[in-house]
Structure formats: structure tokens, C-alpha cells
Structure 1
Amino acid sequence: MNIIERINAVTNSAPNSKAYTINGESHSYEELKKRSDAMAFYLVNTAKLKRGTPIVIFGGKQFEMIVSFLGAIKAGHPYIPVDSHTPLARLEQILAVSKPQLIIAVEDLPSDLNVVSKIVSIKELKEIVSSNCVEIPLEQAINKDETFYIIFTSGTTGVPKGVEISHDNLVSFSEWLLNDFDLGTGKNFLDQAPYSFDLSVMNLYPSLLSGGNLVPLDKETTLNFKSLFEKLPGMALDVWVSTPSFADICLMDKAFNEANYPNLQRFLFCGEELTLKTATKLIERFPKAAIYNTYGPTEATVAVTQVLITEEIVNKYARLPIGRVKEDTEIIIVDDQLQPVPTGEIGEMIILGPAVSRGYLENPEKTAESFVLINGQHAYRTGDLGKFEKDLLFYQGRKDFQLKFNGYRIELEDIDHHLEKVSFVQRASVVPKMLNHKVQNLIAYVVAKPHEFEKNNQLTQAIKAELAPLVMDYMIPGRWVYVDQLPLSANGKVDRKALINEVNK
């Protein structure tokens, strides 16, 4: 499969069918093709960028985002999606690592961003994509093992890592989605996850490759439950893609059920653990729908396992399986010496196969740490613990202190790193509060510097005000504990495990 060729075939067979519907306004496949062709023409003939250099695309849930994604690919450039809610410091780090020659600003960039790249503003973008132009030859497009997109994830040193996903990585993932999940054609897909979060790939390309219609939810609606519950029923969704946490929010609305969502026949969950509680509620509310639990890291192209969650599975297991490994992929469970453990024993999950990324952009050191050769094959060390029971895989937590919270992958050391930049903080260690094997909250243990605040909540507000511009909002702890000193392990490092045990006892 060639991604662009397949989307072109969908367009040729049904040019007027809906590709993207936002706030009641629909855009057809023909419009998507013409506009992305115009963008590609501009990149090749006017911008004249060197083929293969990455382009940053900054924005939210606008139609121009996917126009720009496809335009970049057609012109031979991988794209880097950056959400418009990204803090300035993180945005600067992403630009420092990726060094893009061009930024497409679908939304205005922060006014205080220091940038040397050429910027295409939304005004210029609309002029570019409205122009008539000739189609760029397919040979120019990203193909085979060339990088298709780069998504930045949290890094232990406070510097985000850019995961490079190739065209063939994406083909491996997309063919599996289309073949194994019975998604059908021409369906309405929920498009809720930010494009900077690789969960969005689970709805974006399966929809475009099957003649589907992406129905996006912007962040403002997602955060306003009243607006969310009012808007969702009118979206006429057939396929639901989200984290379990987002489904939990929607389940708060008693009207979130089969009667009010008669077309909703497929739920696909990824990004964090699907709990028994959430799955049970969904089966009760949507008894005829197929509910899939999936698992995979960004470095293996979104997901590599799936299982249909039935009443039988819910009744059989205290902790839900993450599924069976897709046909072209292998997961082995190993010990600390990377030797396979016996079936049923817990070890680190290693992923091998055509969906595994080549590594991190401009970061050979981190690439060498996480990507290894196993039996002569390129493989990714997930840092996730798992075990097999027959052919079913079960997630058993993190090997280190990286975790998923509301679907977002977070390095606890990343938050510590930024917290210790705050003027009121001497030392800090952030730990997760767990409930039913799922992160419920982030707790910050802080040794504060001398200050003049009378109450701890005043100190907390001051710390959060300094932290907010440095990290994503989902990385800001929800509870704060002030201590004279942090516990230390025998080798003199902060004993995070002791804090985790204290929080979760």
C-alpha cells in the first residue's frame, strides 16, 4: 500500500463524500486533495525546501491541519504536529531538536517565540491552498522507509524525544486496523486526541484510507463537560477512538448510551490501561458495540495488540488483557539480560516487526538505549512489564518511572527536572497515586526554599504559576506535599519507590 495513492483512490471513487466535518461544516475528499496538492506545489516550487527535511505544523483541530499533513507528505517532507496548547519552553525545545526550515502556523505562534525558520501564516496558508496548481508526481511523496511523521514524547532529561515513524511503519499499522477491526467504509470517526498525540493516528489514517469522515472535537469542548455532552450526540459517530479516561468523562453523562448513539458500533481504546470498571459500564451502555482494548508505544506506531472485550472476558479476568499481537509483529518477554522468560512469567515487553520506529530524531544516544538488535532484528525496549497467558498478553505496569496519565505518556523525572527550575523549589519528586492499576493523580513531594507565604496553598499557587509555562498542563501535579527532606536510597538518590509506597499504602 502507498498511503497517498490509496487516499487518491478513495477520492477518485467518491470525490464529493465527506472527509472532515467540524462544527457542522463539511469538507470533501476532492477539496482535501486539491488543497493538499496546492500545498505540495508551494513546498516544491516556491519554498524549494530540500526533500526529506521536516516541517512543523502548529495548530489544533482545523481542516488546514490535515491539508498541511498531506501536502507535506506529497512534497516529500515528514511533518511534526505540534498542538497550539504546547507551552513556549517545550515548543522551543522541539524546534531546537528538529531545526525545521519551515513552520506552517495554522494558529498564531506565541508572540515571544524566538524562531529562525520561515513561517507560513494562516492567511498565507489559505491563499496557498486556494490556488489552482498541477498535481505533484507521486514519486515525490514520502514512501517506503522514509520518515512520514515525527511525534515528540516526554524525555527523562526534560528535553522531548522526536519519534520517527516511516511510511512503511504507518502502512503496517493502517493495514492491521483496516483488516482486523472490521471498521467498514464511509464511517464517521471521532477525532478527539490532539494531533501531537499519536493516538490521533488511530482515527486519522484509518478514516482517510477507508473513505471515512473525521469528526473532530476541539480541546475547549473536551474540557467543558456541558458543551461536550450537548455536542456529542449530534456528531453521529460510528467509530470511537479515545483514551479510556475520555470515555470515563463521557460515561458521567447518563445519556451516553446506545439509544442516543444508535450508529456507534466500534470503540477503540489506546494510550492507557482500560480498567474493568470502564469496560463493564461500556458493555452495559452499548451492549451491541464491539469494544477493543489495544496496546502499543509511540515507538511502535500507535498500537500492536488488540482484543475484543466481551462479557466473558470481563467476568474472567481481574485485570483486562491488552490483547493478541498483530500478525506481522512479535512481542517477547525478557529479563534484565534480554533473555526470554518462561510463558506466564513477568518481564519487559520487547517489540519486533515492521511497525517499530527507526529511533529518535537527532538523538543517537537515546536511540541506542531503547532500540536494540534481538536475533538480528531491529527491536524496541518498551520499559513496560507484561506476561503471556497462552496467546493473550497482560500489561503489568512500568519497569521504570515513565507512566500514562489520561492517555499521555509522562516521564516523572521530566516533571522533577522542570519543578526544580522553579524559584521556590529546592528539591522535588513527583509520584503517581494509583487506583485499580491506573494513575488517578500526580503527587508532588517538595522541599521548598525559604519563602514568605503564610499558607501552603499560597506557595502551591506560586509554584504552579512558574511551572505552567514549562510543561504541558497534564504534567502539573494535582496534590502537593511539603517536606523537610526527601527519602534517599542507599546510593544517595531520591527514593521515589518509597514515596510511591507511601502514597499508595
Structure 2
Amino acid sequence: MNIIKQLTQVTQANPLAPVYKIADKGYSYEDLQRQSDALAYQLNQHETLTRQAPILVYGGMSFDMLASFIGAMKAGHPYIPVDSQTPIERLQQIITVAQPALIIAAAPFPTEITRNCSLYTCDDLQRFTTNRFEALPVETAVTGDEIVYVIFTSGTTGAPKGVQISESNLISFTNWMQTTFDLPQQQRFLAQAPYSFDLSVMHLYPALLTGGQLMPLTKAATTNFKLLFETLPTLEVSVWVSTPSFMDICLMDAQFVQEQYPQLTHFFFCGEELTVKTAQKLQERFPTARIFNTYGPTEATVAVTQIEVTPTLLNEVNRLPIGYAKVDTPIVIVDEQLNEVADGEVGELLIGGPAVSRGYLNNSEKTTEAFIKYQGQHTYRTGDLGRREEGLFYYQGRRDFQLKYKGYRIELEDIDHNIEQLALVEHASVVAKLNGTKVQSLVAYVVVKTHPYEKVTQLTQQLKHELGLLVNDYMVPTRWVYVEELPLSLNGKVDRKALMNEVNQ
């Protein structure tokens, strides 16, 4: 049964049940149905929209974003979520690559953006609900191998890549979530990850398909610790979904303990490595809660492995395993020649099965590089290194210089490219400062042109400001090192490994 059919059944069973609450405003499943039906009807009446034409949805953690996703799906269109905090140049890059047929602005849309399509505003979305409309037949909705959403990730050339996820991919993930973790119905899910980050899918659809309620955190709350610690207890969430880095922030609050959050029973982590240190501290604070470590790239629909983190496990390992593979997901570990390695040996993780994306939107070259036929099956080359012991997988780092930082996947070459766009920069190379195997910070090595600044701190402040206009804030390096030239390897390329060794010696 497809996603929209499942959601329709949930709504019919309890239409007045709460589905979304942000600030003091609450919404029911009936509200979600009405607004999404009205939008779907409008999209279906649009003269130039063809089935499966992508729709970009721009905004923050608002209810309008959620209703727009569901409305697009009901009308047979994939949605492309883009956060309103995205820098202008990044947004323009995404639009250039995606070529959306329509933009829905659930937040004020930048006027300087070049677009060749219609735009619906928040006022339009409300107007659609007051006009006459009819619910489309459920058969009109996205289904099967049709694309349901496209999430953009960092790309090596400075251009982001749009990962296409089909309805079948999403069904594989939601079925796994519903059958694996013993989650009760009608839970309150923390919605911390922005919709442009595929971790959001882990709270979004498991909540909707079980009659649950989404409790979003605003950008203001996630960036102001005092406000965050005041807000979290008021949400009364029972299911927690976040990156480990966000949990590290929350654990700074001495009141973040089970006695203050008695309803919180499940923790889910994905997006980056969960350390033993973080897990131990959380387990001590919430001794009766269940903690799950999961792993998966965007290209394989959020997560494909899981393991429950117990006191016994924490006592047995120095580094947490990423877990056991989904039943429908074959994961193999191979050497550089794509030959499968023996248990205990380190190699690249290859992922197959029904959760694997068909590829990148309008980017056949990158699709061909990352998606291969392996043993006759469509397979994604993750670039992640791992090992397997008795069916249990362990993460061992990145094969290349793509990495996870603060839960986001970034490519260092992408940041290089954007730094080199700055007027005062000649060349740049960014590397990661590690704490064990986890990325602690980003360090930029930069060759600069002649500049007017007397102090290095002034120069750094200016470059950070300019870069922040081009990329997301988590991609701006913390430390900047100015050099006469970048080291080169024997083949004439920038020797990033040498810089990496220098930063981490």
C-alpha cells in the first residue's frame, strides 16, 4: 500500500488527532488533509505541469512545508525540500540543476533568484483551501518507481547533487521503521532535522503513518542553547530523532534527564557516528529508554542498518557498530577491485536492494560513477569503509574526502571550490580535524592574494563572512591557515593527505 493510501487510512481513523504543533499553533490530520488536497487539486489543474515534474518547496519547519510535500505527492509530483536558511548562491545552483516546474514558497522567496517557473506563496496556499476543490483519486498519487522526493547533497565540483528517492524506496524504509523498532502508535516525534536533510524522513513518515504528532524545533531554538533547553521539556516528545552532535548539545543541560522527560522512551541516531562516550552519557541519563544507532547514506533512503545500544554493548566495544542490515538490503564489503572481502577485513560498503536510489537528478555522469551493477543488482557505492563480523557492520571511515560533519554530508572539494570563488583567494584546500574518527572541525589552508587587512583575524573574519553567503553555515571552516603555496603530490595534485596529517599530528 502506497504512502498516500496509508496516510488516508490514518486520517479517516482519527481525523481530529494532532499531527503538527509549532509554537502555540496546532494542526490536525484533517487540517493536513484539507490543505494538501486543495494544493493537489490546484496542481492537477495547472496547465503546464506534467506528471512527475519536480516541485521545489522552500521554507523552514512550518506546517505549510509539510502540507506542500503531501500535496505534491497526491498530485503525482516529487518534491524538492530546500531550507530557507540556504545561501542564495546555493539555492540558485539547486534550481539550475533541478529545473523545477514550480516553486512553492512556504517562506519569503529571495527576489534575486533567477527562475523560469511559477511560484506559489503562503497566501496562495491558504487561498486554495477557500476556493472550491475536490480530493483527487488516491490513484493519482506518486506510486511505485515514481520519484517522491529529491534531496540535494554536496557535490565535488561545487554543484550539489539531487538524490532521487522513489515511492518504493520510501516504502522499504517506512516498513522497516514500523516493523523493527516496536514503536507504539500515536507517538510525539521530535522534528529537529531540517527537511532539506534526509534525517528528517526518519521522523516525518514514521510519525504520519502511525498517527503520531510532529513537534518541530525552530531554527531559533536550535541555535540558542538557553532557548533550546527551555523549549525541549515543553514538547513532551516520546520519540527522539537527531544527529549525535545535537544530542551532545542537549547533554550539556544538567536537566536533560529521565526524571524531567518521563515520556521519552526511544532515541534514534543517524547522520554521523554515534560515539561510545555520547551513548554512555545518554544511557546514564535515561536508563530505561531504548537507544538505537542507525546508518545509511541519502542514496539508500536514510538508514539501512540498526542496532540497539545497551549497557552490555557499551561495556564490550570501544567503537559502536552501525548494526545489522535491513532484511531486504544486501550489504557487501569489497576491495578496490570490487572483490568481496572476508569477515573482519576492511573495505568499501556496497548497498543493494529496494531502498537504493535510481541516481542523481539531471546528472548522468555522477550517477554512472556512484551506481553500478554488482552481481546483477542495482547497487550504490557508498565510499564508506567498513568491516563485518558475524553479520554485524562496523564503520571505519571514508574512502575519499567526503565526510559527515554535524550530521550533514559534505565534500571537501565542494568547500574548496566555493572558497576559491572569493576575490581575495588564489587557492584553497579544506581538511578535517579529527577527534578519534569523528570530525571535530574543518580547517582551511588558503593562498591569498594581496589584501588590505593589517591583521590576520580581520582577513579571516571577512573570508568567513563572504563564504557564508555561498554555502551553508556548517561548511564554513573554523580555522584558517594562510600559506605561500599548497603542497602537491607526485602527480601534481594538491596533497590533501599531507595537510590532513599536519592538522591531526
> TM (normalized to structure 2)?
0.99
Partner of 1:155: 155
Tell me the distance in 1 between the aligned counterparts of 2:121 and 2:35: 16
2:401 paired with 1:401 = yes
In structure 2, what residue type is equivalent to 1:485?
Answer: E
Tell me the distance in 2 between the aligned counterparts of 1:214 and 1:323: 27
Tell me the distance in 1 between the aligned counterparts of 2:24 and 2:339: 54
Tell me the distance in 1 between the aligned counterparts of 2:227 and 2:37: 35
In structure 2, what residue type is equivalent to 1:102?
Answer: L
1:415 and 1:430 in contact (8 A); partners too: yes
Tell me the distance in 2 between the aligned counterparts of 1:24 and 1:294: 32
Partner of 1:204: 204
Tell me the distance in 1 between the aligned counterparts of 2:498 and 2:210: 50
Q: How does 1:211-250 map to 2 (within 5 A)?
A: 211-250=211-250
Any idea what the Cα deviations from partners look like across 1:78-97, whole Å, max 9, x if unmatched? 00000000111111111111
Q: How does 1:293-332 map to 2 (within 5 A)?
A: 293-332=293-332
Partner of 1:108: 108
The CA RMSD measured in Å over matched residues stands at 0.9
Partner of 1:258: 258
In structure 1, what residue type is equivalent to 2:27?
Answer: H
Question: What is the CA distance between 1:47 and its match in structure 2?
Answer: 5.2
Partner of 2:377: 377
Any idea what the Cα deviations from partners look like across 1:209-255, whole Å, max 9, x if unmatched? 00000000011110000010001001010000000000000000000
Question: What is the CA distance between 1:436 and its match in structure 2?
Answer: 2.6
1:412 and 1:430 in contact (8 A); partners too: yes
1:88 and 1:110 in contact (8 A); partners too: yes
Quick one: structure 1 residues 63 and 130, their matched pair in 2 at CA, closer, same or farther if it must change by over 3 Å?
farther
Partner of 1:123: 123
1:35 and 1:130 in contact (8 A); partners too: no
Tell me the distance in 1 between the aligned counterparts of 2:461 and 2:88: 20
Higher mean C-alpha displacement, 411-420 vs 45-54: 45-54
Tell me the distance in 1 between the aligned counterparts of 2:313 and 2:429: 38
Question: What is the CA distance between 1:48 and its match in structure 2?
Answer: 5.1
Tell me the distance in 2 between the aligned counterparts of 1:201 and 1:466: 32
Tell me the distance in 1 between the aligned counterparts of 2:196 and 2:495: 32
Q: Secondary structure at the match of 2:321?
A: coil
Partner of 1:61: 61
Q: Secondary structure at the match of 1:198?
A: coil
Question: What is the CA distance between 1:129 and its match in structure 2?
Answer: 3.1
Partner of 2:349: 349
Any idea what the Cα deviations from partners look like across 1:168-223, whole Å, max 9, x if unmatched? 00000000001101111000000010000000000000000000000000111100
1:11 and 1:29 in contact (8 A); partners too: yes
Any idea what the Cα deviations from partners look like across 1:374-399, whole Å, max 9, x if unmatched? 11100000000000111110000000
Tell me the distance in 1 between the aligned counterparts of 2:62 and 2:47: 23
1:426 and 1:446 in contact (8 A); partners too: yes
Higher mean C-alpha displacement, 129-138 vs 84-93: 129-138
Aligned residues with identical type, % of pairs: 57
Partner of 1:13: 13
Q: Secondary structure at the match of 2:273?
A: coil
1:275 and 1:436 in contact (8 A); partners too: no
Question: What is the CA distance between 1:256 and its match in structure 2?
Answer: 0.4
Partner of 2:179: 179
In structure 1, what residue type is equivalent to 2:24?
Answer: G
In structure 2, what residue type is equivalent to 1:150?
Answer: V
Tell me the distance in 1 between the aligned counterparts of 2:264 and 2:132: 38
2:192 paired with 1:189 = no
Tell me the distance in 1 between the aligned counterparts of 2:122 and 2:48: 19
Tell me the distance in 1 between the aligned counterparts of 2:303 and 2:52: 26
Partner of 1:165: 165
Tell me the distance in 2 between the aligned counterparts of 1:130 and 1:379: 46
Question: What is the CA distance between 1:23 and its match in structure 2?
Answer: 1.1
Partner of 2:22: 22
Partner of 1:451: 451
Which runs of at least 4 in structure 1 moved beyond 6 Å after TM superposition? none
Partner of 2:498: 498
Tell me the distance in 2 between the aligned counterparts of 1:491 and 1:44: 55
Question: What is the CA distance between 1:128 and its match in structure 2?
Answer: 1.1
Question: What is the CA distance between 1:452 and its match in structure 2?
Answer: 2.1
Tell me the distance in 1 between the aligned counterparts of 2:129 and 2:373: 44
In structure 2, what residue type is equivalent to 1:359?
Answer: G
In structure 2, what residue type is equivalent to 1:73?
Answer: M
Aligned length in residues: 505
2:433 and 2:443 in contact (8 A); partners too: yes
Q: Secondary structure at the match of 1:240?
A: strand
Tell me the distance in 2 between the aligned counterparts of 1:339 and 1:366: 22
In structure 2, what residue type is equivalent to 1:442?
Answer: L
2:35 and 2:125 in contact (8 A); partners too: no
Any idea what the Cα deviations from partners look like across 1:408-459, whole Å, max 9, x if unmatched? 0000000000111111111111000011311110000111111121111111
In structure 2, what residue type is equivalent to 1:107?
Answer: A
In structure 1, what residue type is equivalent to 2:49?
Answer: L
Question: What is the CA distance between 1:132 and its match in structure 2?
Answer: 4.3
Quick one: structure 1 residues 215 and 131, their matched pair in 2 at CA, closer, same or farther if it must change by over 3 Å?
farther
Q: Secondary structure at the match of 2:380?
A: strand
> TM (normalized to structure 1)?
0.99
Q: Secondary structure at the match of 2:199?
A: helix
Partner of 2:76: 76
2:408 paired with 1:412 = no
Question: What is the CA distance between 1:21 and its match in structure 2?
Answer: 1.0
Tell me the distance in 1 between the aligned counterparts of 2:462 and 2:482: 14
Tell me the distance in 1 between the aligned counterparts of 2:48 and 2:94: 23
Partner of 1:362: 362
Tell me the distance in 1 between the aligned counterparts of 2:491 and 2:121: 52
Tell me the distance in 1 between the aligned counterparts of 2:502 and 2:95: 39
Question: What is the CA distance between 1:45 and its match in structure 2?
Answer: 1.5
Question: What is the CA distance between 1:121 and its match in structure 2?
Answer: 1.2
Tell me the distance in 2 between the aligned counterparts of 1:321 and 1:281: 17
Tell me the distance in 1 between the aligned counterparts of 2:95 and 2:128: 24
Tell me the distance in 2 between the aligned counterparts of 1:320 and 1:130: 52
Tell me the distance in 1 between the aligned counterparts of 2:130 and 2:308: 44
2:333 and 2:387 in contact (8 A); partners too: yes
